Amino acid sequence: MTSMNKSNLKKFKKMLQDRLSELLNEVDQTTKDISGTERETFADPTDQAVVELDRTRYLRFKDRERKLIRKIEKALSRIEEGTYGECEACGSDIELARLEARPMTELCIDCATEAEGEKKKSKLYGTEAGPSPAANLL
Ligand SMILES: [Zn+2]
Q: Check: CATH 1.20.120.910 for 6-107? A: yes
pTM comes to 0.68
So where are the chain's domains?
6-107
Work out the mean pLDDT of the chain and round it to a whole number.
82
CA of 9 to the centre of ligand 1 (A): 19
User: What is the signed CA dihedral for 68, 108, 2, 96, rounded to 10 degrees?
Assistant: -80
pLDDT of 70 over the 70 cut: yes
Q: What residues have a C-beta under 5 A from ligand 1, the ion?
A: 87, 89-90, 108, 111
pLDDT tens per residue across span 83-98: 999 999 999 999 999 9
DSSP string, 74-94: HHHHHHHHT-TTB-TTT-PBP
Question: Could you tell me the pLDDT band of residue 7, with boundaries at 50, 70 and 90?
Answer: very high
